[in-house]
Amino acid sequence: MEQKNKENYLVSTFFVFFLIHSSQTGIGLLSFQNTIFENAGHDAWISVIITGLSLHIILWMILQMVSNPTKDLLKIHQISFGDKIGNFLSVIVIGYFFLLALTVFRTYIEAIHVWVFPMIKTWELSIGLACLIIYIITGGFRTLTGISFLGVVLPSLLLLTLYFPLQYANFRNLMPVFNHSILEIAQSSKASSLIYIGFETLLIYFPFIKYPSKSAKWAHGALAYTTFLYLLVTLLTFVYFSQGQLKHTLWPTLVMTKIVEMPFIIRFEFIFIFTWVLVILPAVCIPIWCCTRILKKITKIKPRKSLYTIMSLILLSSILIDDHLEVDALGKFASEIGFYFIYSYIPLLFIIFSIRKSKFESSQY
């Protein structure tokens, strides 16, 4: 019989909304427009909707696997493939979560480097952010949940500033609608997968939800809100920038914040970037926590020890990635891996688990 988590480690069910949304809304919101624009042009907003809707099916599969009774990805792997192969696959998933954390971590460092401190060294910024991440994760899952809550609520106020570029909107930029082929929109949908990945961490922390049977509405609600948010920012970007301008704009969301004018603030984009750290922290901390959780259950290594090791590897990797082209390549690689993990591995795992589950349950009696 698997030991259940203690009551004081659990979080209320509605926090699933904040955990999922904060896992998805990371650094990608500042620059994703270029990625989806490459294939479908001004019709790329359609791909945002398609990807968001399709992920509800993937989320349903995840909830079906982790529910009744409550379990995590390690148990699902063991039921589906046996202990040895299952644990081996779980170790591979550690590499996947590590890649997610590294991508958000290094891309945010690049944003600070480009927009605020161009002369400062990458390792200096990385160490400061790494110390903050370690402090949060050592506080435990409930502390991580609290940061996720703040990472959704407080930065949401910054989205009100998007009203300023709306004053210069040219809605003719969206015309003509459906001017691209289905293949081009599908390619754009694949490219947009990076802005949605992260919700699959639910596979690891689901046993820490107090009433997991009631979490489905909050999980799907979070995914719907993420889709709405990305759709809103996408449409606003397309009506603010012409197609020629957008091709040569690396950080469209940050560029739009530059026109915000207030009597007591000269460079509002600085405030936007530094406040955005609350958004990227959960997107880095949750995958790293998942890595430590998997290692604890497989190898019995204490989370604190594995945390220092993982953060050291992230620091080393972020220092070795030393220019924008390499950061961009890292983001594209993470997007590619995330796409196949979500749309290939999870459905395949769902099918195998569904077949093996009944046989496993019958053997328990």
| Residue 362 banded pLDDT, cuts 50, 70, 90 | low
> Which of 1-15, 21-35, 277-291 has the lowest average pLDDT?
1-15
pLDDT digits (tens, 9 = 90+) for 84-116: 999 999 999 999 999 999 999 999 999 898 888
pLDDT digits (tens, 9 = 90+) for 209-259: 988 889 999 999 999 999 998 999 899 999 998 888 888 888 888 888 888
Q: 3-state secondary structure string, 244-310?
A: HHHHCCCCHHHHHHCCCCECCECCHHHHHHHHCHHHHHHHHHHHHHHHHHHHHHHHCCCHHHHHHHH
If you count them, how many residues does the chain have?
A: 365
Helices 44-66, 346-363: crossing angle, 10 deg rounding: 10
| Residue 1 banded pLDDT, cuts 50, 70, 90 | very low
- Cα–Cα distance for residue pair 202/227, rounded to 1 Å: 18
3-state helix, strand, coil in the chain (%, to 5): 80, 0, 20
* Tokens matching residue 124: 């200096």
Residue 17, amino acid: F
